Amino acid sequence: MFIHITNAQVFAPESLGVQHLLVAAGKIVSMSPDAIDLGSIENVVTVDAEGRRLIPGLVDGHSHINGGGGESGYSSRVPTVKLSQYTGAGVTTVVGLLGTDDTVHTTGSLVTGARGLIDEGLSAYCYTGGYHVPCTTLTGSVRGDIVYIDPIIGVGELAISDHRSSQPTLDELLRVAADSHVAGMMTGKAGVVHLHLGDGERRLSMVHDAIAQSEIPARVFNPTHVNRNEPLFLEAMELTKAGCTIDITAYPLVEGDTGIGADRALIRYLESGCSPDHITVSSDGGGCLPQFDDDGHVTRMGVGDPRVLLDVINALARVGVPLEDVVPAFTSNVARHLRLRYKGVVAKGCDADLVVLNEDGSLWGTMAMGQWHVQDSQLLRLGHFENL
């Protein structure tokens, strides 16, 4: 079946004006500012976008697809994130990972979770490892996991500068990064180490040392949560000049929070003169969002939600930041850094992962691999067990 989308104002992410698209077999097979000649094609469903904005499906590079948490006792483990929590938030590609709990959760369960989402129509990848070293793996090595297991594209989220980390040494970090880098070369996968940054005052010093004292390319080191405090954010922006891509977490700020809101952080980054290609934003969906007192006790607990991504995009649109400047951090930058071919852009030959926005920024439609999951602001598909 062909899906013919007419009169969409396309941000690919660059602004292309009004375009008409033809989708088939999960791909964008044609895109043109002129009406597409459908000729003798049968089984065409035409959808008039009526001038709505159309952007690439969001690529969420940091999500606890199987549920994270467990930092406040056994009962605080977060449930699995369901299909519609992604598609209903405009997310069409997700990278799953393990965090604090890489004991009960395993690389095997994570790969299975990613495959489940793929079965349901999403594009899903994952990292091997978790907060701690030695990394939890499926084959016994980071290199083996990336080389042999399809959805695994790198390592993460490996924790540094955090009381929940395993306090890795520089040598331990370098060994993991070297394995991921070489496996990335062998496979064409990302081969990155996605680094969870905590509130610790060492901040990014170990990453600076790793780049200075080894031959591993800076792109391999990919710090996240860099907007959690001002000094860390300043260091992270500086680090992009060495070639690293940094990731902002779109967590909602609460009173007394020392973090920088993702909208504010992205504006500051884009105005800083740093490369606009080296910044991404992720949701930490399904992750627990604890706050700690000085003794390391949890004082407050929230759960990450993929919906924050669209909230940030709309917050930036409301203050007049052009959509084509905002969207890359949520789409093409993530796909490029993680070497996800055919993802993160609206172009002929790319996967038909699309988001259509209403005038007020709310979601009109989500198409994942050529299938509508949300259309006319209605959820059309649910994952297994979602309707119970």
* Binding window for Zn ion (CB under 5 A); candidates: 196-204, 234-242, 266-274, 359-367: 196-204
The smaller minimum CB distance to Zn ion, of residues 87 and 224, is found at: 224
User: How far, in Å, CA of 144 to CA of 219, rounded?
Assistant: 21
Contacts of 363 (CB under 8 A, 6+ apart): 88, 89, 90, 310, 355, 356, 357, 374, 377
Strand partners, 249: 282
To the nearest whole angstrom, how small is the minimum distance from the Cβ of residue 281 to Zn ion? Answer: 14
The smaller minimum CB distance to Zn ion, of residues 61 and 365, is found at: 61
Contacts of 312 (CB under 8 A, 6+ apart): 250, 262, 263, 266, 281, 330
Q: Interface residues for Zn ion in 166-185 (CB under 5 A)?
A: none
- Interaxial angle between packed helices 170-187 and 205-212, expressed in degrees from 0 to 180 and rounded to the nearest 10: 60
The smaller minimum CB distance to Zn ion, of residues 196 and 264, is found at: 196
> Between 144 and 163, how does the x/- string for binding to Zn ion read (CB under 5 A)?
-------------x------
To the nearest whole angstrom, how small is the minimum distance from the Cβ of residue 216 to Zn ion? Answer: 22
The smaller minimum CB distance to Zn ion, of residues 157 and 235, is found at: 157
To the nearest whole angstrom, how small is the minimum distance from the Cβ of residue 225 to Zn ion? Answer: 6
Across the chain, how many H-helices and E-strands are there?
10, 19
To the nearest whole angstrom, how small is the minimum distance from the Cβ of residue 197 to Zn ion? Answer: 8
The smaller minimum CB distance to Zn ion, of residues 132 and 196, is found at: 196
To the nearest whole angstrom, how small is the minimum distance from the Cβ of residue 14 to Zn ion? Answer: 31
Q: Interface residues for Zn ion in 197-236 (CB under 5 A)?
A: none
* Binding window for Zn ion (CB under 5 A); candidates: 193-201, 299-307, 309-317, 345-353: 193-201
The smaller minimum CB distance to Zn ion, of residues 157 and 179, is found at: 157
Q: How many residues bind Zn ion (CB under 5 A)?
A: 2
User: How far, in Å, CA of 139 to CA of 137, rounded?
Assistant: 6
- Nearest-CB residue to Zn ion? 196
The Cα angle at residue 129 between residues 128 and 133, in degrees rounded to 5: 150
Alpha helices in the chain (DSSP H): 83-87, 107-119, 142-148, 170-187, 205-212, 230-239, 262-271, 308-318, 323-326, 332-337
Q: Interface residues for Zn ion in 31-60 (CB under 5 A)?
A: none
User: How far, in Å, CA of 107 to CA of 344, rounded?
Assistant: 26
To the nearest whole angstrom, how small is the minimum distance from the Cβ of residue 106 to Zn ion? Answer: 18
Question: Of 100, 115, 98, 103, nearest to 149 (Cα)?
Answer: 115
Annotated catalytic residues are 284
Among 53, 82, 132, 196, binds Zn ion (CB under 5 A): 196
Q: Name the DSSP letter for residue 276.
A: G
How far, in Å, are 44, 234, 310 from residue 353 at the CA level?
18, 34, 15
* Binding window for Zn ion (CB under 5 A); candidates: 12-20, 188-196, 327-335, 353-361: 188-196
Chain residues binding Zn ion by CB under 5 A are 157, 196
